[in-house]
Amino acid sequence: DEVADPDILRVLFRGTTMKSLLESVMGKPMKRMQSLDGLTQQQKLTRVDWFVGGLKDCEFLPFEYPVDKVMFAAAYGNQVYPVLFEVIKRDIHCCWSLGPDMLAEGSKILLTSQIKFPNGLKPTPDVQTTAAEARLQKHHLSADE
């Protein structure tokens, strides 16, 4: 059971976990990326390349962020953990910026808002924009803040 497994490296490289993480960050499906189960090391390296490229495309990782993709594909923590930390940092920053709206009574901001990433990628389908969503869309997620 993936939920009960405390080893994030093992979970990330099993099944469609990496695909799901990338899709949630990018806000769109990654059709070419499927389960990592049963893949050769070279195939995993290709998937890692897609994963890291996707994170850079939607600016969750800076373009110049150094990732040793061979070591990442081999699930070496010293390569994987810093990348996951960057993703978590962006997620926390987004939640923090939405904090007051999330705490409002009856708030459905997490159910209805769509994160507008700086490069224009966005989840689908479109929903009616609320004032909180408009603030979120104007807010570019910055890891430096």
- With 0-12 / 13-18 / 19 or more C-beta atoms within 10 angstroms meaning exposed / middle / buried, residue 63 is exposed
Whole-angstrom CA distances from 25 to 28, 53, 70, 75, 111 are 8, 12, 22, 20, 16
Low-confidence ranges of the chain (pLDDT < 70): 1-6, 109-145
Q: Contact at 8 Å (CB) between 13 and 79?
A: no
Q: Taking Cα atoms as reference points, which of 85, 15, 87 lies closest to residue 55?
A: 87
pTM: 0.65
Tell me what pLDDT residue 97 has.
77
Cα separation, 103 vs 99, whole angstroms: 6
**Cis ω before 123 (30° cut-off from 0):** no
